[in-house]
Amino acid sequence: MANHTLLLLSQDNAEYQALLKQAYLPGLTILAPESEPEIQAALAKADILLGEPARLRARLPQAKALKWAQSTYAGVDILLNADCRQDYQLTNIKGIFGPLVSEYVFAHLLSLTRHLRHYKAQQRLHNWQPIPYESIRGKTMLIMGTGSIGQHIAHTAKHFGMTVLGVSRSGREAAGFDNTYQLPALNNVLPRADVVVSVLPSTPQTRGLFNAARLDHFKPGALFFNVGRGDAVDEGALIQALRHGNIGAAVLDVFASEPLPTASPLWDMPNVVITPHNSGYSFPEQIVTRFSRNYLKYTSGKTMEGLVDFNLGY
């Protein structure tokens, strides 16, 4: 078997190095240099990179021997710009975030529908005051994106007795969904949804998708979750829709600019929940398991898992 050199470009380099050594991958040399001269020397000979997309992007021009890069994230849009190299194989992490993102969505959905924040405030005041609520059973959830994450959310929604609709590029049937539609049908489907969850990647078709005109089609008082990409939403239009009650509440894990600027009105809105892009965390153990499988496929010339199509954008 030919020898290969892996350069780690992650915020969790030490953890990845330890886990990869335990994986005993044949013919693999693992480099995790810390100084800039050592990183430059490693870039000249590493045919494999592993790391977060932004760190990979910064090093692409110097990666002279690059054949394959493994992203530690599912979203790799920063590596898909026309000005970025595309003469190598890029794999992302798909299929491991579904359970985590599903937990996130339902933690916040139940918190909102059962008024948990209000009860916490009342508890501090020693105030015994029931607040009316409705069950999520029988409600309709629309999930934008019907891949592995969308399907996990859909299965959880079915467990709670919800009707689940999906919108995707192809509109193909997907596990857990009662009905799926293509993007052009979105305006007709939106008024039926009590809860809208976007898990969309960043592509030319999804950027700015939720603009002012689109938000007008939401069912009044609907709950909106964005756990996909921030650039799918016109934040100014969303702020207006939240202020006027057309959208009841928003749970936002992703933003057009991250970290969310401190001056953003979203921070202080009572019907907005903000989290720091952590609904689905990349656990090194899971990523090393995926990388190890892909390495064995890479060295034997087989198609790797999570291979990104540079033209499609995911």
Give me the active site residues, please: 229, 258, 277
Q: Are 106 and 160 in contact (CB under 8 A)?
A: yes
Q: Which residue reads 């938000």 in tokens?
A: 215
End-to-end CA distance of the chain: 31
Triad 106, 149, 166: Cα angle to 5°: 85
DSSP type of residue 307: B
> What is the H or E stretch that residue 121 is in?
helix 116-124
Record the tokens describing residue 175, joined without a space. Answer: 């596990």
What tokens were used for 160?
């709670």
Give the integer Cα–Cα distance in Å for 17 and 31: 8
DSSP class per residue in 260-293: PPTT-GGGG-TTEEE--S-SS---HHHHHHHHHH
